[in-house]
Amino acid sequence: MRYGVSKPLRGALLLITAVLLASCASDPDPVAVPEQQDGPSTRPLTAAEIKDAVPRSEPRARYGNHSPYEVFGKKYKVLASSEGYVERGTASWYGSKFHGRRTSSGEPYDMHLATAAHKTLPLPTYAEVTNLNNGKKVIVKINDRGPFKDNRILDLSYGAALRLDVIGNGTAPVEVRAITSGFERFAGNTARVNEAIAFESSDIPPDGAWLQAGAYGQRAGAEALVARLEKARLTPVSIKDGGGLYRVWLGPFFSNTDINSAIERAIELGFERPHTVKR
């Protein structure tokens, strides 16, 4: 006896086969679909239209702060705090390819806002970014992770890159300076970050006051700054290690006159303005 398929069942199988073939014919070959290219906004936009992010105190994001985490086989440790963080390096930018997608912190990426991605700063962190080629500045909200390419410390949103005039070259040397206090000074305006991170001590403790000249994720960066400060005779200077950062401190100082003199001398010699810190 030969076994076959009944007519009703045969009809059903033919119908399913036809549907599958039609589906395969209508779907493009995934190999033939080019990868979406990143690029600028299609909306006409000027640098003047990009507003500084407004720093404010807010809790850590629910997502994006897991530590350590691994990307492309390399592990990264999120810093315990962004306080005193200053770093120089190369920044790149990202735009239309990621517009509307979720950032590492969970917020949607809006390429027209002043935001950025960083590998190890807590999310969110507010920071002032300075293009060292032209002196242009922008305040960004760091709410994403990246860039995961060697020798790059920051990925700017398209809007932030537009403010810094980075779009044409694609990358630029920058300084990233975290904003961790004085948030109220930014309400309703775009005051400069130096006004927020610098504060004066009204009472100098018995063991003296200290000025922070910089903070680095790597000890080598802190040691290089110490060498420059010592060469410029800005002493005493030391490195304080804690919270995943190497902080360069000047002091102790025992009068406001000495503190102000040290600040003025540092600025005159081309260093970033030191700010007072509590031990």
Q: What is the pLDDT of residue 36?
A: 64
Q: Alpha-carbon dihedral of residues 237, 242, 245, 250, nearest 10 degrees? A: -20
Beta bridge partners of 275: 212
Q: What fold is seen in the domain 47-194?
A: Barwin-like endoglucanases (2.40.40)
Local confidence band at 208 (pLDDT 50, 70, 90 cut-offs): confident
pLDDT tens digits for range 144-203: 999 998 889 999 999 999 999 999 999 999 999 999 866 655 554 443 333 333 334 346
pLDDT digit string, tens, across residues 118-155 = 999 999 999 999 999 999 999 999 999 999 988 899 99
pLDDT at 24 over 70: no
Tens of pLDDT, residue by residue over 36-90, are 688 777 777 889 889 999 888 888 998 899 999 999 899 999 999 998 899 999 9
Q: Which residue has better confidence, 215 or 210?
A: 210
Backbone angles phi, psi at 262, to 5 degrees: -65, -40
Cα 62 from chain centroid (whole Å): 17
CATH 3.30.70.1070 fits 199-277, yes or no: yes
Domain ranges for the chain = 47-194, 199-277
